[in-house]
Amino acid sequence: MTDPQKVLAERVQQALAAAFGAEHADADPLIRPSQFADFQANVAMSLAKRLRRAPREVAESIRAELSDFPGTVEVSGPGFLNITLDDTWIASEATRMFDDPRAGAGTTTPAQTVVIDYSAPNAAKEMHVGHLRTTIVGDCLARVHEHLGNHVIRQNHLGDWGTPFGMLIEHLLDIGEDAAVAQLEAGQGTAYYQAARAKFDGDESFKQRSRVRVTTLQSGDPETLRLWHVFMDATVRYFNKVYEMLGVTLTDADIAGESMYNPMLEKTCQDLEAAGVATVSEGALCVFPPGFTGSDDKPLPLIIRKSDGGYGYASTDMAAIRYRVHDLKADRILYVVGADQALHFRMVFAAARLAGWLPDTVNAEHVQIGMMLGKDGRRFKTRSGESVKLMDLLQEAIDRASAAIADRGYDETTREAITHSVGMGAVKYADLSVNHDSEYVFDFDRMLGFTGNTGPYMQYATARIRSIFRKAGRSPAETTGPIVLGEPAERALGLHLLGFGETVEQVAAQSEPHRLCAFLFETASLFSSFYEECPVTKEGVDPETSAHRLALCALTLRVLETGLDLLGVPVPERM
């Protein structure tokens, strides 16, 4: 454990127990960053009330128990404990981080099985910009949990089933398999869908055929299933192109689409009905989880079988949650899905708890993704009002990145690699650096900026450290400690770096990637100040100081690169 706040908390708690008895060992020591020291502990004030003693006196007693503390502790004001850590303690903890492959991020013990439902585009419609955020945020959370040693099971809950597939398959037969495959692989799913839809609306016999096809699909007719596979495989190949472009870790093995649950739906309904959790209301099978009412104060139904006998989105999610708990043995299930589905998930979770399918020991959490807005503050769309095609958007990011670094004199291959990293890094970082549940304005100019809390700025920060090593004729990987801290800017950077592991753990606990972005941005800023004030390899710097500073550079690079990798932001060697 290197996080200074955690170390302090533990030490102060030990002091509380020693001074006032073991029953106080669990009191929150209330450690906060301080203006006057590294940290302050405010526990004396709250404890004084309970002990009916003067706060300053309580603070003094705590301080007396901290005599062997690696730093100075002062009592100030009404009873604050101002705590300043010794430089040598910070330096030795920082040196220890060097030898740790996780850069100070602990492992969760015991390891948890974390099921992460993310991306989940719909096959019948094109993958659009709304799926970008769920994909990027979900992928970051998967990486973070894996880094912490958890067992991550990715579930790409593709919209790959349901009534539209009747018309999609009939359209495939009309235009021929090869033409359909070519169109779908090229990412023209929307055009394909619209063509099918137009026939469905305008052509009675096509409509009739489509309806029949839905039934044959659902009854498992082998030829219909083959056609469904032709359609889906081509669609998934296109999704994979997008994932590859983004550097997202999802593979075909992670696909667990709606179709997968089809064979379980009947039993799902039967079991819920037999258990008395679901009841038939107006012909539909519904669960009425307590506490959910509509505007008319009537209980709100979660419909798990429609009155025509068909199954819908909620049916599938009920089967899925049971499968995830029972078969996948999840300890935690994260649903990284748009915020507009909040009510749906609250009801699914409540219904699953009622059914006993989601025990109290398992957490189901909706990681709400806010809407992506255009610069006009409205839902992000093309000028003609259509939803923006994801591939086009990503390509534009790369093109713009290319223009930004055009004049830097790299050969073609290097430039392409940098351009790709910068373009994708910009889009992904922009997405991750804002709170996932707030709406956010998609703005190329801002996200591609080389200053501020942006992907390119963070990438540049790492490239700059790498160039320091090139100049020094050393490689960061060969650099070893010890880290020795002298100047205030060195000390501030070293102290900050120690918080990396705790930040990663927080990101996992709260599902909040933006905290990691904020930490890395602060790291880069502190590094800049350090680099301005403390020459590393300049002439006149003695070799020993230079070695210590290079070690600090190497640790900073490790933290930045590890952090960016957890975000899924690529890191070019040069920029």
Largest CA distance in the chain: 89
CA distance readout (Å), 55 to 49, 52, 76, 251, 312:
8, 9, 11, 58, 61
Alpha helical stretches, state H, 434-474: 444-447, 455-472
Place of tokens 């025990």: 359
Q: How far is the CB of 365 from ligand ARG (least distance, A)?
A: 12
Q: How far is the CB of 232 from ligand ARG (least distance, A)?
A: 14
Of 31 and 320, which CB lies nearer to ligand ARG in the complex structure? Answer: 320
Q: How far is the CB of 323 from ligand ARG (least distance, A)?
A: 11
Q: How far is the CB of 340 from ligand ARG (least distance, A)?
A: 9
HEC string for 376-428: CCCECCCCCCCCCEHHHHHHHHHHHHHHHHHHHCCCHHHHHHHHHHHHHHHHH
Of 20 and 335, which CB lies nearer to ligand ARG in the complex structure? Answer: 335
Cα torsion through 183, 184, 189, 194, rounded to 10: 50
Phi and psi at 101, nearest 5°, equal -65, -20
Axis-axis angle for helices 313-326, 342-355 (nearest 10): 50
Express the helix, strand and coil content of the chain in percent, nearest 5 each.
55, 10, 30
What contacts 538, CB < 8 A, 6 or more positions away?
Answer: none
CA distance readout (Å), 116 to 310, 342, 484:
27, 16, 41
Of 122 and 556, which CB lies nearer to ligand ARG in the complex structure? Answer: 122
The token pair at 28 is: 């929150």
- Determine contact, residues 230/180, Cβ cutoff 8 Å: yes
Q: How far is the CB of 341 from ligand ARG (least distance, A)?
A: 7
Q: How far is the CB of 187 from ligand ARG (least distance, A)?
A: 16
- Determine contact, residues 104/2, Cβ cutoff 8 Å: yes
Of 380 and 444, which CB lies nearer to ligand ARG in the complex structure? Answer: 380
Of 61 and 119, which CB lies nearer to ligand ARG in the complex structure? Answer: 119
Of 184 and 555, which CB lies nearer to ligand ARG in the complex structure? Answer: 184
Collapse the DSSP code of 514 into the 3-class scheme (helix H, G, I; strand E, B; otherwise coil) and give the result.
helix
Interior angle at CA 187, CA 181 and CA 191, nearest 5: 85
The token pair at 575 is: 């920029």
Q: How far is the CB of 402 from ligand ARG (least distance, A)?
A: 31
Of 122 and 433, which CB lies nearer to ligand ARG in the complex structure? Answer: 122
Alpha-carbon distance of 283 to 307, in angstroms, equals 5
Of 159 and 370, which CB lies nearer to ligand ARG in the complex structure? Answer: 159
Place of tokens 């990438």: 459
Q: How far is the CB of 270 from ligand ARG (least distance, A)?
A: 21
Place of tokens 């219904």: 351
The site for ligand ARG (CB under 6 A) is made up of 117, 120, 122, 157, 159, 317, 320, 335, 337
Interior angle at CA 85, CA 82 and CA 86, nearest 5: 135
Phi and psi at 304, nearest 5°, equal -105, -15
Of 93 and 117, which CB lies nearer to ligand ARG in the complex structure? Answer: 117
Nearest residue by C-beta to ligand ARG?
120
Of 337 and 390, which CB lies nearer to ligand ARG in the complex structure? Answer: 337
Q: How far is the CB of 371 from ligand ARG (least distance, A)?
A: 12
Of 157 and 322, which CB lies nearer to ligand ARG in the complex structure? Answer: 157
Of 122 and 368, which CB lies nearer to ligand ARG in the complex structure? Answer: 122
What contacts 442, CB < 8 A, 6 or more positions away?
Answer: 129, 372, 373, 374, 375, 380, 430
Q: How far is the CB of 283 from ligand ARG (least distance, A)?
A: 24
Q: How far is the CB of 132 from ligand ARG (least distance, A)?
A: 12
Of 126 and 317, which CB lies nearer to ligand ARG in the complex structure? Answer: 317
Q: How far is the CB of 88 from ligand ARG (least distance, A)?
A: 51
CA distance readout (Å), 421 to 136, 393, 414:
15, 15, 11
CA distance readout (Å), 25 to 159, 210, 384:
51, 69, 63
Collapse the DSSP code of 304 into the 3-class scheme (helix H, G, I; strand E, B; otherwise coil) and give the result.
strand
- Determine contact, residues 391/242, Cβ cutoff 8 Å: yes
Distance, C-alpha 407 to centroid of its chain: 34
Q: How far is the CB of 333 from ligand ARG (least distance, A)?
A: 9
